[in-house]
Amino acid sequence: MSFGDPNNPYGQQPPQGQPGYGYPQQAPQGVPPQGGYAYPPQGAPQGYPAYPGGPGGYPGMPMEMPGLVKTARVLLFVVGGLQIIIGLLAFLGGAALSSTDSGTAGDVVGGVVIALGLFALALGVLAVVLGAKYGKGGNGVRITSIVYAALTILGGIMNFANTSANGGGGAAGGVISLAIGGLILAAMVSAPGAAWFKRPRY
């Protein structure tokens, strides 16, 4: 069978099944054809790399703040706001006691109340700042939160001791302080909480 004039390149047709003119033969998957580009293999990741998946998440998805850490954050905002209010009231009350004509005893009591007010005010500001940094803060925020939780637990124990010594009924404040401090501490030392504050940042 003749395929045309051998001296005429336009008239010659290749046999069926052989590569033709003008169209490169199809290359295997992943191998670029001559003069072209290959598509990535199936299953290859597309686009920009995403954040690594966190505990309980899927690889390639942004890590989400654990529920216990969210609860601790809300408690820090609430307790911090209350401590700021109590600290300001104590500071004003101590200043009023010191300014009256009650003598040396009034000055001492007023000074103690002012000192306690300033301490409560500082703790409140610290709690609010810590809560605000939970979204982007690192391991330093976690360690500072552990210290804050320890101080809160210590305050609850001292409240219990003071209530027992004076025979008063202020045990409820001690229970609340212990519960709040214990929850914040548990959130910081748990594995999901530690992973949240130690996660890679891009």
More confident residue, 29 or 43: 29
List of residues 6+ apart from 57 with CB closer than 8 A:
63, 64
- The pair of three-digit structure tokens given for residue 180, joined into one six-digit string: 């709040």
Share of the chain above pLDDT 70, in %: 63
**Residue of 176, 11, 162 lying closest to 82 (CA atoms):** 176
Instruction: Give the chain's end-to-end CA distance (angstroms, integer).
Output: 68
Q: How confident is the model at residue 191 (pLDDT cuts 50, 70, 90)?
A: very high
Residue 6 reports pLDDT greater than 70 = no
* Per-residue pLDDT tens over the stretch 123-162: 999 999 999 999 888 999 999 999 999 999 998 888 877 7
Q: What is the pLDDT of residue 53?
A: 44
List of residues 6+ apart from 133 with CB closer than 8 A:
141
Q: What is the pLDDT of residue 51?
A: 42
Please say whether the beta carbons of 111 and 98 come within 8 A: yes
